[in-house]
Amino acid sequence: MARLTYGNTNMPKFCMQSLVRITSNVDVAEAKKILLELLDYNIIELISICLRGDDVELIYWAAGLMHEFVIKDVVADKFRQIKGIHTILSGLLSAEEMYISRVILRTIKFMAAGQDKFLQDMVRSGMVKKIMHCLSLNDEDVKQWAILCIHVVAGQVESHQDIITAPEFEILLELATSSKMKVAIYVSDIISLICCITSNATYLEPHIKSLLKTLNTLLLEGESDVQYNAAGAIFNIMTTNTPFANKVRQINFKNILSVATTATNERVQMICTKGALMVVIKSKYTHI
């Protein structure tokens, strides 16, 4: 019906909406059966056409149906192979409607997980910058899913420049310590991945003070994985160059030493002890 009445402005929307409602409100096994049956009607092509349209409501429901396919892992590869899919998704992230951004970010997160080619194309297409921009929007769900997407793509070293040089990088650091959003584990992991690449130093330099202050707060976080990520990031920053090591001594040394002696997690104790020792060594031989 959606295909036959595509020129009609309302019927395709009603049809897409109905399909989303049905597949999202039945159990997963039944939903998968329905989604597989829809493939007989060239639904992927129809969704692709709708996503390229101008009708905001139709785009939303088409994106919603794609989301159902992807999160339920029904022919997700077919959606990854849609021509220009990264450009389409990036364009939709620019939409003013928050509800579209939410569903697109959720879809991207599930499409990207464990998919190296898709992740590489995210970087090449400029999608990472669009995702970073979502951190500035006034919607906590959008910010949360944006962070999850950044967390997935941060494993690609090529993404780091886009992440660090984005105007929203400072917002990412602020959200790391937000008591409301609870994303410390993801942001600390993103920071840890970024800080272990020495060539990122040039991009990090304008943010080094706020970055180290954020890591200080995360280092005192109760969760051991967050502490470990923060301590590892501080250690890697310190070994990058002398000016960075100097900043670590000024901002982080006291907390590194404290956590090294009080942490109950052995990994955290070890990395903090190594960090404290490195500060002492660098202070002795480089006069920082």
Instruction: Map 240-284 to HEC letters.
Output: CCHHHHHHHHHHCHHHHHHHHHHCCCHHHHHHHHHHHHHHHHHHH
Give the burial class of 284: count Cβ atoms within 10 A of its Cβ; 0-12 exposed, 13-18 middle, 19 or more buried: exposed
Query: How far are the Cα atoms of 142, 248, 252, 260, 273 from residue 255, in angstroms, in the given order?
Result: 33, 10, 6, 8, 11
**pLDDT at 74 (0 to 100):** 97
Percent of the chain with pLDDT over 90: 85
The answer to whether the beta carbons of residues 282 and 238 sit under 8 Å apart is: yes
**pLDDT at 137 (0 to 100):** 95
Average pLDDT over residues 247-251: 95
**pLDDT at 191 (0 to 100):** 98
Nearest CA among 197, 207, 208, 234 for reference residue 219 = 234
Query: How far are the Cα atoms of 11, 123, 129, 199, 216 from residue 156, in angstroms, in the given order?
Result: 42, 8, 14, 14, 26
CA 113 to chain centre: 10
**pLDDT at 4 (0 to 100):** 47
pLDDT of 109-146, one tens digit each?
999 999 999 999 999 999 999 999 999 999 999 999 99
Residue 288 pLDDT greater than 50, yes or no: no
Q: From CA 231, how far away is CA 274, in angstroms rounded?
A: 10
The answer to whether the beta carbons of residues 176 and 218 sit under 8 Å apart is: yes
Q: From CA 168, how far away is CA 171, in angstroms rounded?
A: 5
- pTM for the model stands at 0.92
pLDDT of 158-203, one tens digit each?
999 999 999 999 999 999 999 888 999 999 999 999 999 999 999 9
Residue 94 pLDDT greater than 90, yes or no: no
Percent of the chain with pLDDT over 70: 95
pLDDT of 190-245, one tens digit each?
999 999 999 999 999 999 999 999 999 999 987 999 999 999 999 999 999 989 99
Query: How far are the Cα atoms of 85, 91, 111, 138, 141 from residue 81, in angstroms, in the given order?
Result: 7, 17, 11, 32, 27
Average pLDDT over residues 1-29: 81
- Tokens encoding 98: 């928050």
Which residues does 136 contact at the CB level (< 8 Å), separation at least 6?
167, 168, 171
